[in-house]
């Protein structure tokens, strides 16, 4: 569970996050908002790459802001980036092994976890393919597999569906739903597109201009007139 209190981030004159209170409790939570709402900034604060000026964050009962980015990985926080970052010169399995090198207990469990993650995302047969020869969907799958290594507690995924076609998005959706039970962890899914969120997330937080616009069960949140207005009003 993630609990965020009075979180404010300031870049020069703007506040991408402004006194944000939010909780992520359900096994799969959504975080949506229009472009520029502050979603990626929140992920960066959670993973330790952006320091807030005020606020506290609890991961279960750990005070997250006191930990270095690498310590947060140590306590089970995982993330993907909005832009996929598969290394072209490494094979699919090496890209995942590169994470296992640092977060798995020992060699045997690393090997086991890498094999499991590869199979889980459906890349078992492509394991020895170089990063540069993987298509976008496969690269996104490598990125997801990397987060499944080393007993994750919470996985933050920043727009994992960006750029995927309908069939691929559908495969992604079925994969995401499986993750919390298969890996005994919580998933926070970030997207600006409500469709994926609506079909996967149990609870959802809506951000707009760094403030919380709504929070609660996904269906109710998406049907909220204020949220509909924020979206329809700008698109």
Partner 1 sequence: MSEIGKTEAMPLVMPAGPGITPGIRAVAIVAVVGLVSAVVALTAGGYWLSNFTQAYCMALAVLGCALLYGQLGLVSLCQWALVGVGGWVSLRFYHYVHPPFFVTILAGGVGASVIGMIWGLPALRMRGLYLALVTLMLAGAFQSLVTVISFPVGGPGLLGQVGASGNDRIMMARPIFASSDTAYFLFVAAVTVLCIFLVEAHRRTKPGRAWALIRKNEQMAIAAGVRIVFYKAWAFALSGFLAGVAGALLAGLFGQLDASAFPTTNSIVIFIGTLLGGYDAWLGAFLGGILTRFIPALLIALNVNTNVGFMIFGAALLFALRDPLGLGGQLTILAERLYKKLRAQDVS
Binding site for partner 1 (CB under 8 A): 47, 49, 69-70, 73-74, 78-79, 81, 85, 87-91, 94, 97-99, 101-103, 128, 130, 133, 146, 150
First-to-last C-alpha distance (Å) of the chain: 33
In the numeric block, the tokens 């207990």 are attached to 105
Which option in partner 1, ligand ADP, Mg ion, none does residue 103 bind, with CB closer than 5 to 8 A by kind?
partner 1
Stretch in the footprint of Mg ion (CB under 5 A) among 22-30, 33-41, 119-127, 141-149 = 33-41
Binding of ligand ADP by 15 (CB under 6 A): no
Tokens found for residue 55:
């606020």
**Nearest residue (CB) to Mg ion, 40 versus 91:** 40
Write the burial class of residue 233 (CB in 10 Å: 0-12 exposed, 13-18 middle, 19+ buried): exposed
Q: Which of 2, 7, 16, 176 binds ligand ADP (CB under 6 A)?
A: 16
Strands 14-24 and 154-158: unpaired
**Residue 67's CB: how many other CB atoms inside 10 A?**
17
Mask: binding to ligand ADP, 20-59, rule CB under 6 A, as x and -? -------------x-xxxxxxx------------------
- Nearest residue by C-beta to Mg ion? 40
Which of 10, 37, 38, 39 lies closest to 230 in space, CA to CA? Answer: 37
If you ran DSSP here, which 8-state letter would residue 84 be given? -
Taking CB atoms within 8 Å and a gap of at least 24, the contacts of 164-170 are 164/136, 164/137, 164/140, 168/137, 169/196
Least distance (Å) from ligand ADP to the CB of residue 115? 33
Reduce the DSSP state of residue 111 to 3 states and report it: helix
Which option in ligand ADP, Mg ion, partner 1, none does residue 73 bind, with CB closer than 5 to 8 A by kind?
partner 1
**Nearest residue (CB) to partner 1, 143 versus 208:** 143
Binding of Mg ion by 40 (CB under 5 A): yes
- Residues lying near Mg ion in the complex (CB under 5 A) are found at 39-40, 82
- Residues lying near ligand ADP in the complex (CB under 6 A) are found at 11, 14, 16, 33, 35-41
């Amino acid at each position: 569970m993630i609990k965020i209190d009075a979180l404010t981030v300031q870049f020069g004159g703007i506040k991408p996050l402004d006194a944000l209170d939010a909780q992520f409790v359900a096994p799969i939570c959504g975080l949506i908002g229009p472009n520029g709402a502050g979603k990626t900034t929140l992920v960066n604060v959670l993973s330790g790459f952006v320091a807030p000026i005020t606020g506290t964050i609890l991961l279960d009962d750990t005070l997250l802001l006191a930990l270095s980015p690498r310590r947060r990985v140590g306590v089970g926080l995982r993330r993907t980036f909005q832009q996929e970052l598969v290394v072209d010169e490494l094979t699919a399995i090496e890209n995942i092994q590169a994470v296992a090198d640092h977060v798995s207990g020992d060699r045997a469990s690393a090997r086991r976890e890498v094999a499991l993650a590869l199979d889980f995302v459906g890349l078992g047969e492509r394991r020895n393919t170089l990063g540069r020869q993987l298509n976008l969907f496969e690269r996104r799958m490598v990125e997801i597999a990397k987060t499944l290594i080393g007993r994750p507690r919470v996985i933050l995924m920043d727009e994992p569906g960006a750029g995927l076609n309908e069939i691929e998005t559908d495969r992604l959706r079925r994969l995401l739903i499986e993750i919390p039970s298969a890996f005994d962890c919580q998933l926070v899914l970030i997207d600006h597109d409500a469709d994926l969120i609506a079909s996967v997330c149990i609870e959802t937080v809506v951000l707009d201009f760094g403030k919380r616009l709504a929070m609660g069960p996904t269906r109710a949140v998406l049907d909220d007139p204020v949220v509909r207005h924020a979206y329809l009003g700008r698109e």
